[in-house]
Structure 1
C-alpha cells in the first residue's frame, strides 16, 4: 500500500479539533468540576489558550503523559486546538512516556504540573523533526503498550464525528454532568470527555474508584448525571451496594470495554427502569475512535446479548469467513481511523484504512439488531476440534459458573471464579465440547484475572496452565540422591564423567554453571569457591565434611544472585512495571568474571575450542530468536540477526537496539578470545593473571573518559567493566580487591552523566562482586534464583518478542510471562547439544553395523 503524504502550505493555519478550539462559546457554563473548584468554559478556554500559546503555531508532535486532572485535560485541549498531534500515554506507568519517546521521538512532552491548569512543558525542539500529516490529530495505543507500541492514528474528523455521534444517541445536553471513572488515556474514557465538551455539558474530574465512598459523595454533591463502566465495574458496583444507593440525578449509565454478561445487562437494565435511569450497552474499538454501536435502552432487558445498531453515521456489514457459520463484522463511518503508526515515518501517512475489520464474528437479526458471537482470534484447534472459547464461557455461564477461557492448540485453560469443583466441571464440560479430558485444564480462582481496564486477562489465565518450567529440579529432571558424576553428566549432556574430570574440563561455562552449582550444593552441601576447577574425586571426597544442617537461608554465589536480580530489573524496566536502570552494566562485569573463571583453563588449542563453543551457545540461540522476530515483526533488520546492529544500525535509539547487550557481549568475548589466541598475549596473561585484565581495564577507561577512540562501536565503553570483572576473578589478596574498589569508586561516578540511581546500582553490584563470594537467599527462592540466573540471557532475548503481545495486561503479568518464556527457551536450548551428540552417536553406531547380502544393516538380536 502506498504511503500518502501531504504538506500544509506555509500560509495555511493548522487544522484543529473544533470543540477544543471553540470552548469559549459556552461562556460561563460549568465545564470542569473537581473536589476543590468549578471551572467555567470561559476559564477553561483561557487556560487552554495560555498553554496553546506556549506550544506555538508551528505544528509539533506532542507526547502527553495523562492523568485525570485539570493540568492534563488543559494540555490535551490546547494541543488539539493548536493543531498539534497528541500521543496520549497513561501517566500512572512511569516507563510509558520513555518507551513512546524512544519509538516516536516527540517534539514536546507534557505532563501534570502545579494543579492549576499549568501543565509541565518540556520542549525537545522548536520545529518538528517529523512530517506530520495535516489530518493527524491524536495517537492512541490500542492497549497501553510500553515496549514497541502500535498506535492508532486518529484525525480531527474522527474525533469530531465520534463525539457528535455519541452525543446524539445519548442525548447529551448542557445539563448533563459525567464523572470520570476511566483514564483519560483510554479511548472510552476520552470519548466521555470529548462528547460532553462538544455539547457544553460538564465533566467531574476525578481519579477515585467506584469502590471508594468518597466517589459517591462527590457524585451526589456535584449532582452528576452519568458515569461510564466496563464489565469489571459492575462487579465492583455489586460490592458497594450500588442497587440500594440514592442517586437522584443519575440519568444513564454507559457500558463498553468488553462484553457484559447478558444476565447482568438484564439485571441492570431492570434496575435502571425501576430507579429512573437508562443503561446504554455500547460496542467499540480504539480504531473506530471509540464507539461503533449501541443498544437502545428500551431493548436491553429483552435483548441483552446484542450490541444493537450502528451509531449515527456508521454502518455494518458481515463478510463470510471460510469454515464458520458466522461472518466477520466490518464497520464503515467517519470515525474509522486513518491507520496505524508503528514508526515515526507513519506520522506523515494519510488515510490507509477505509473500513474497519473488527475481528469479531457477528450476525444480524431480523429486528435489525447485531450480535457479536465470538472472535476470530478466540478459536483454537485441539485434537483436530475447533473450539470457540466464547462458547465455552457461555456453557459454563448457563451452569451458573463465571469463567474465563484461554487456549492454545495444545490445551484449553479455564479459570473458574468461586468455590467450584474444577474436577467435576471438567468431567461435565469435556463431553459437552467433545474434546479429550486431558487437554482441558480447569482452575478455581478467587477472582477472575483482569487488566487495569477491567477486561479479562487472558494471558494470565493461560499462564495457569503452563507447565512448571522446573517441576522437579533446576534442569527438569527427577530429584533424589545423585552423585557428582550423574549431576555433571546430566547438566552438561555428556555420556561419561571420569574421576579426574572437572566442570571446566567437561566444557562447562557460565550458561550451565548456575544450575550445576545449585544441584551439587544440594547433593554435597556448601561448595568451595573453586569447585568448578576441582576433580570429581576431590568433590566427592570432601562431601561429608561440607554437609551442613538445613537453614532458612542458603548461601548462593554473588554472581548468580546478581544475574537473577538484574534480569528481573531489566525486563521490568523495559515493560514498565517499575523503573530501575544500571543492572545491564553490572552483567557486563559479571560476564568478564565468568569468562575468567571458565574460559582461561587448559592448553591453548583446547581452550580456544571451548571458548568458541561458549560463544556459539550465545550467538546461535540469539540469531535464531532474532530471526523469528525479524519474520513476525517489522522492528528488526538483517543486521540484527547477525548481531551487527551496533556497527551497521542507526545511531538513534530504535527497536533495532533491543539486543544491544547481546551484541556488545559477543563483541567483547570475540575480542578477548582473539587477543588470547596470539601466543605472546596468552603467555602474558598467564604470567600476570591479575595485571593483564587491569591493563585491559585501563585501555577501556581511555574510551570511558573519551581520551581516545578505539573505533570499536559501542563496545569500548563497556570494555573496562568486562575487564574489571575479569580482574575480580583473578584477585587473590585483599590488596587486589582494594585496588579494584578504588578503580570502581573513581570511574563509576559520571558514567551515566549524573543519573544517580544507575550509577549507585552499578557501584553496588560491582562492590558486591568484589567483596562477597556469596549472598544469603531464602531456601524457598534458591531454586528460582538459579533458574532465572541460568536463563537470564534467554529471558533478555525472548522478552522483546513476548511482552508486546501482552500490551493490554498489567505489566506484572507481562513480566511473569516473559520470565516463563525465557526459561522455556533456555530449557530447550540447553538440551540441543545433548540431542546432537546422541544423534551423532546413533549414526556412528548405525554406520558400524555390518551389512547383510541385501545391503541392510545387521542388528544384534537381544
Structure 2
C-alpha cells in the first residue's frame, strides 16, 4: 500500500504551498483545513468532476479535495475553451470546478470504476476525446517511485511552473506532497526575470523542464552555481539532444548539483525511467533505467522478449503505475483494461547494465516542445489538401514530405494548417518536396529517408538551428533589422512597440525570445545585457547606437 497524496496531517507544520504571485505561504495544516472546507461543498454521490486548474493555491486545494472525496477527476486548462466545451459535451461530467465557482453538470449517474482516480488526455494538441484512465495505485506508486530515485524529503522545495493538467507537472505536485515537501507555484516562463527571482527568493531546491526549456537556458548562459539552494533539475517531455544532456550534467555536477533526465508516458502516470546524474556524461543519449518497482525490456515484432544484448526492439514496461486503459466515451469509465505490459511504441537498444537508448519510434507520435502530436492525424489533414504526401518527424521538428514541384504557396498554406490545428510554431514545421516520395522495398513510405534527406537534420546544435528557423519565419533572414525597434516589430508584429516598453511589457514568448536574442546579439554584440527582457527598448537602442559609433570611429 502506497502513501496517499491527500494524507496531509502528518506534515502539519511544514510549508506546503508558496505562491509569490498571490503573496501566500500555506502550511500543511492550513492546506488540510482548506481541503476539508472545499470537500464539504462536494456531493456525497461519487461523481465525474472536471477541474480547470493553473499553478495557484485554489487549484491545488480543488484538486486535493476532489481526490480526497473519491471523485474521478479530469484536469484541464480552460473549461470555456472550444476543446474544454467539446470534452464537457462528450463526457458530460457531473460537476465542473474552477477557481471561482462550482458548477453542476449532467445529473445522470455514471458507472465509475471504484479504483479510477485521474483522467488525463493522451494529447494536448489533437482535441480528440480520448482519456488515459489512472487508478489511485497508478498515481501513488509513481509518486512513491519518484520520491525514491530523486531522494525527496520534506526539505525539498519544487519550483512548479509546468501546468498541473500536464502529466509531468502533476507528477511533481504529487511526489512532493507525498513526502511533505513544498511547492512553489508559478505561471512565469523561464525567459521571465521573475521566474529566476522567485526561484532564488523562495529557496527552491529544484525545477523541471521539457527539452525546449533547456535549449532556452543554454542560450541564456544559465549557471546553476548562481542558485545555492538548488539541488537538482529534471528533464522529461521528449528527447533532449545528447550534447545538451552532457552540457547540463557537467554544469550541474561542477557545483555539486544533479541534472536528471527522465522518460515517461501519460499511460504510466507518467514516469517510466530515469538516468542517474553520475551516468549522464557517459550515456547522454540514454533514457536510463526503470524506476523503482518497474521493469523495462525489449520485445520483437511478435511480442517475444529479446535477450540478445545487441538486438533492438520495442521498449516494453511493467509496473504498478501502468494505466487502467483508455476511455473514449462515458461507458468506458466503468471498466479496467490494465494491459499486462505497456508497449511504448519506441524502438530501443540495451546499453551497459540496465540502461536503454531509444533509436526510433514504431508508433506514429512525436513530441516537439513536449507536446504529443499524432502523425496519422497530421497526415489525414495534409492529404485533404495534397494527396501525394507523407508526414513524419522527430521530437525537434514535424516534417511534411510532398511529391511534386516546389510550391512556396502550398508550403506556407500547409504550415499554416498545422499551426492552426495543432498549436505548433511554424518554425518547427519543415516542408520537403520530392520528385517521388521515397519507398521501401515493400512499397511502403520510407519515413527514415524523408527525415534524412539533406537538410532534415541540422548540422549545428539544435538550439542554433531552431533559432535560425525562427528568425527565418519572422523574416530576419531576408531583411536584417537596422534598429532595436525594428527588430522588436519584426519579431512581435505589434503596434504597441515604443521606446518605454520592454520585451516583458509586450508579452514576448519563448519563441520570439530566441529570435530576438539572435538579432540583438547581432545589433549589440557583446554588449547585450543579461536582463535585456526587462529593459526599455530605448535603453537597448542607446547601447546599439553607442556600439555603432565605436565601430565607425
| TM-score w.r.t. length of structure 1 | 0.43
Q: Does residue 121 of structure 2 align to residue 134 of structure 1?
A: no
Q: Contact between 1:378 and 1:388, CA under 8 Å: does it hold in 2?
A: no
**1:235-250 map, 5 Å:** 235-243=215-223, 246-250=226-230
The one-character-per-residue Cα deviations of 1:517-562 (angstroms, maximum 9, x if unpaired) are: xxxxxxxxxxxxxxxxxxxxxxxxxxxxxxxxxxxxxxxxxxxxxx
**1:644-663 map, 5 Å:** none
User: Over aligned residues, Cα RMSD in angstroms?
Assistant: 4.0
Q: Does residue 326 of structure 2 align to residue 340 of structure 1?
A: yes
Indicate how the Cα distance of structure 1 residues 410 and 337 shifts in structure 2: closer, same or farther if over 3 A, else same. Answer: farther
Q: Does residue 137 of structure 2 align to residue 152 of structure 1?
A: no
The one-character-per-residue Cα deviations of 1:377-427 (angstroms, maximum 9, x if unpaired) are: 3699xxxxxx9977xx7xxxxxxxx963525595999x9x99xxx99xx9x
Counterpart-to-counterpart distance in 2, 1:140 and 1:290:
10
**Counterpart in 2 of 1:122?**
103
Counterpart-to-counterpart distance in 2, 1:122 and 1:262:
47
Counterpart-to-counterpart distance in 2, 1:377 and 1:219:
38
Q: Contact between 2:225 and 2:255, CA under 8 Å: does it hold in 1?
A: no
Q: Contact between 1:131 and 1:345, CA under 8 Å: does it hold in 2?
A: yes
Query: Which structure 1 segments of 5+ residues have no match?
Result: 1-15, 114-119, 381-386, 394-401, 451-455, 465-809, 811-862
Query: Which structure 2 segments of 5+ residues have no match?
Result: 366-374, 376-389, 416-425, 439-445, 474-510, 512-553
Decide which structure has the larger Cα Rg and report it: 1
**Counterpart in 2 of 1:22?**
7
Counterpart-to-counterpart distance in 2, 1:188 and 1:329:
20
Q: Contact between 1:67 and 1:183, CA under 8 Å: does it hold in 2?
A: yes
Compute the displacement of 1:317 (Å): 1.8
**1:652-801 map, 5 Å:** none
**Counterpart in 2 of 1:314?**
294
Q: Does residue 49 of structure 2 align to residue 62 of structure 1?
A: yes
The one-character-per-residue Cα deviations of 1:504-523 (angstroms, maximum 9, x if unpaired) are: xxxxxxxxxxxxxxxxxxxx
**Counterpart in 2 of 1:358?**
344
1:253 is paired with a residue of what secondary structure? strand
**Counterpart in 2 of 1:44?**
31
Indicate how the Cα distance of structure 1 residues 135 and 277 shifts in structure 2: closer, same or farther if over 3 A, else same. Answer: same
Counterpart-to-counterpart distance in 2, 1:61 and 1:434:
41
The one-character-per-residue Cα deviations of 1:243-290 (angstroms, maximum 9, x if unpaired) are: 276100000000000001100000000000112210110000000001
Counterpart-to-counterpart distance in 2, 1:103 and 1:271:
48
Q: Contact between 1:167 and 1:195, CA under 8 Å: does it hold in 2?
A: yes
Q: Does residue 271 of structure 2 align to residue 291 of structure 1?
A: yes
The one-character-per-residue Cα deviations of 1:207-233 (angstroms, maximum 9, x if unpaired) are: 111111011111111100001110000
Q: Does residue 211 of structure 2 align to residue 231 of structure 1?
A: yes
Q: Does residue 76 of structure 2 align to residue 83 of structure 1?
A: no
**Counterpart in 2 of 1:349?**
335
1:305 is paired with a residue of what secondary structure? coil
Which structure's residues are more often helix, by fraction?
1
Indicate how the Cα distance of structure 1 residues 365 and 439 shifts in structure 2: closer, same or farther if over 3 A, else same. Answer: closer
**Counterpart in 2 of 1:253?**
233
**Counterpart in 2 of 1:32?**
17
1:197 is paired with a residue of what secondary structure? helix
Counterpart-to-counterpart distance in 1, 2:257 and 2:461:
29
**1:407-556 map, 5 Å:** 407=400, 440=453, 442=455
Counterpart-to-counterpart distance in 2, 1:295 and 1:363:
15
Q: Contact between 1:17 and 1:156, CA under 8 Å: does it hold in 2?
A: no
Indicate how the Cα distance of structure 1 residues 327 and 123 shifts in structure 2: closer, same or farther if over 3 A, else same. Answer: same
Counterpart-to-counterpart distance in 2, 1:301 and 1:438:
27
| TM-score w.r.t. length of structure 2 | 0.66
Counterpart-to-counterpart distance in 2, 1:88 and 1:434:
35
Q: Contact between 1:32 and 1:38, CA under 8 Å: does it hold in 2?
A: yes
1:158 is paired with a residue of what secondary structure? helix
1:64 is paired with a residue of what secondary structure? strand
Counterpart-to-counterpart distance in 1, 2:355 and 2:25:
41
Counterpart-to-counterpart distance in 2, 1:438 and 1:237:
27
Counterpart-to-counterpart distance in 2, 1:242 and 1:53:
46
Indicate how the Cα distance of structure 1 residues 68 and 229 shifts in structure 2: closer, same or farther if over 3 A, else same. Answer: same
Counterpart-to-counterpart distance in 1, 2:236 and 2:451:
36
**Counterpart in 2 of 1:107?**
94
